[in-house]
Amino acid sequence: MSRYHNVMTLDEFTIQQLRLFPHATGELSGLLRGIGLAAKHVNIEINKAGIADILGAAGSINVQGEVVQKLDIYANNVFIDVLRSGINCAGIVSEENDDVVIFDDAKSNQSKYVLLIDPIDGSGNIDINISIGSIFSVYKRVSELGKPATIEDFLQSGVNQVAAGYVIYGSSTILVYATKRGVNGFTLDTSIGEFYLSHPDIKIPNHGQFYSFDHRYYHHITPALKRYVDFCMSPENKNGPYSSRYYGCMVADAHRNLLKGGLFFYPSVEGKPNGKLRLCYECNPMSFLTEVAGGKATNGKQRILEIQPSHIHQRSPLFVGSAGMMDELQTFLK
**Which residues would be at the binding site for ligand AHG (CB under 6 A)?**
95, 118, 121-123, 214, 248-250, 276
Site size toward Mn ion, by CB under 5 A: 4
What residue 248 binds from Mn ion, ligand AHG, none (CB within 5 to 8 A, per partner kind)?
ligand AHG
Shortest reach from residue 137's CB to ligand AHG, in Å:
14
Q: What is the DSSP letter of 305?
A: G
For ligand AHG, which is the closer residue by CB, 118 or 153? 118
Backbone Cα Rg of the chain: 19
DSSP annotation string for 81-100:
HHHHHSSS-SEEEETT-SS-
Residues 56-95 that bind Mn ion (CB under 5 A): 95
Q: Which CB, 108 or 123, lies closer to ligand AHG?
A: 123
Of 101 and 249, which has the nearer Cβ to ligand AHG?
249
- CA of residue 76 relative to chain centroid, distance: 14
d(CA 332, CA 88): 44
Which partner in Mn ion, ligand AHG, none is near 249 (CB below 5 to 8 A by kind)? ligand AHG
Q: Among 124, 137, 123, 130, which residue's Cα sits nearest to residue 73?
A: 123
Kindly tell me which of 114 and 249 has the beta carbon lying closer to ligand AHG: 249
Backbone angles phi, psi at 315, to 5 degrees: -105, 165
Closest CB to ligand AHG among residues 123, 299: 123
* Among Mn ion, ligand AHG, none, residue 214 binds (CB under 5-8 Å by kind): ligand AHG
Min separation Cβ 156 and Mn ion, Å: 20
205 contact choice in ligand AHG, Mn ion, none (CB below 5 to 8 Å, kind-dependent): none
Tell me if 253 contacts Mn ion by CB under 5 A. Answer: no
Q: Least distance from C-beta 250 to ligand AHG, angstroms?
A: 3
Beta-bridged to residue 320, according to DSSP, are 264, 297
Residue with smaller CB distance to ligand AHG, 111 or 125 = 125
What is the nearest approach in angstroms of Mn ion to the Cβ of residue 42? 12
| 3-state SS assignment for residue 23 | coil
Gap between the Cα atoms of 253 and 262, Å rounded: 9
Q: Which residue number is nearest to Mn ion in terms of Cβ?
A: 121
Taking the complex as a whole, the smallest distance from the CB of residue 64 to ligand AHG amounts, in Å, to: 7
Residues in contact with Mn ion, shown as a per-residue x/- string from 105 to 134 under the rule CB under 5 A: -------------x-xx-------------
Which lies closer to ligand AHG via its Cβ, residue 251 or residue 305? Answer: 251
Task: Report the nearest approach of ligand AHG to the CB of residue 218 (Å).
Answer: 12
How many residues can be counted in the chain? 334
Q: Which long-range contacts (CB under 8 A, 24 or more apart) does 89-93 make?
A: 89/31, 89/34, 89/113, 89/114, 89/115, 90/114, 90/141, 90/148, 90/149, 90/153, 91/115, 91/148, 91/149, 91/153, 91/154, 92/116, 92/117, 93/117, 93/154, 93/280, 93/281, 93/312
What torsion do the CA atoms of 114, 119, 122, 124 make, to the nearest 10 degrees? Answer: -150
Applying CB under 5 A, which residues contact Mn ion? Answer: 95, 118, 120-121
